[in-house]
């Protein structure tokens, strides 16, 4: 992996901010940019009780609910970063699960994510997380995904408005 910080002691936040993976500059983004890529967001602890389904039927976390609603209105592609499946695409049916995040299966998760990315071949991978400091596990993993354009976004562009800030 690239020279990325590990979550150690009180100084982990500072080392994270200094890492190459943390957003340092801003770019403008609009809805057309999102439509040329795929927006992914980490899974949530909150899940439904159904035994299987597509992501919007399984995950109930606030960030993901916001993404699902936005995707429906704007017709963008999305995926959920899963500790069991790697990446669950918007139209993919999977079984429900309860797997907490861990660094033990990092290579397996990277392989699973790469297979999905190769299949859909998006121009840009948008990693959506309103709280990037809490998603360091995924930031570290996604640094290994061989796609040229990766952009970390903390907000989704408003619909029918001008350009918006994007963090890469």
Q: Say which residues have a Cβ less than 8 Å from residue 22's Cβ, sequence separation at least 6.
A: 16, 132, 139
Helices (H), strands (E): how many in the chain?
A: 6, 9
Q: Which of the pair, 67 or 123, is modelled with greater confidence?
A: 67
Q: For 2, which DSSP code?
A: -
Query: In the predicted model, is pLDDT for residue 80 greater than 50?
Result: yes
Backbone angles phi, psi at 51, to 5 degrees: -80, -30
Q: Is 65 left (phi over 0), alpha (psi -120 to 50) or beta?
A: alpha
Mean pLDDT, all residues of the chain: 79
Query: Could you tell me the pLDDT band of residue 106, with boundaries at 50, 70 and 90?
Result: confident
Interval 28-55: pLDDT, tens: 677 888 888 999 999 988 889 899 999 9
Between CA 93 and CA 110 the distance in angstroms is 20
Q: Given the structure tokens 């995707």, which residue do they identify?
A: 71
Strand partners, 70: none
Q: Given the structure tokens 């709280």, which residue do they identify?
A: 131
Strand partners, 167: 26, 152
Query: In the predicted model, is pLDDT for residue 124 greater than 90?
Result: no
Task: Spell out the domains of the chain, with CATH numbers in brackets.
Answer: 24-167 (3.40.50)
Q: Which of 20-24, 45-49, 85-89, 155-159 has the highest mean pLDDT?
A: 85-89
> Considering the chain, what percentage of its residues have pLDDT values greater than 70?
75
């Amino acid at each position: 992996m690239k020279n990325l910080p590990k979550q150690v002691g009180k100084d982990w936040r500072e080392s994270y901010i200094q890492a190459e993976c943390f957003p340092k500059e801003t770019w403008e983004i609009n809805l057309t940019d999102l439509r040329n890529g795929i927006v992914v967001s980490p899974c949530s602890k909150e899940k439904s009780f159904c035994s299987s389904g597509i992501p919007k039927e399984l995950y109930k976390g606030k960030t993901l609910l916001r993404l699902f609603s936005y995707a429906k209105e704007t017709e963008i592609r999305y995926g959920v970063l899963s500790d069991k499946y790697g990446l669950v695409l918007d139209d993919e049916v999977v079984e429900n699960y309860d797997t907490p995040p861990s660094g033990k299966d990092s290579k397996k998760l990277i392989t699973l994510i790469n297979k999905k990315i190769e299949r859909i071949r998006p121009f840009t991978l948008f990693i959506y997380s309103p709280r990037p400091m809490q998603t360091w596990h995924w930031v570290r993993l996604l640094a290994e995904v061989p796609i040229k354009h990766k952009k970390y976004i903390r907000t989704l562009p408003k619909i029918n408005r001008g350009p918006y800030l994007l963090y890469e």
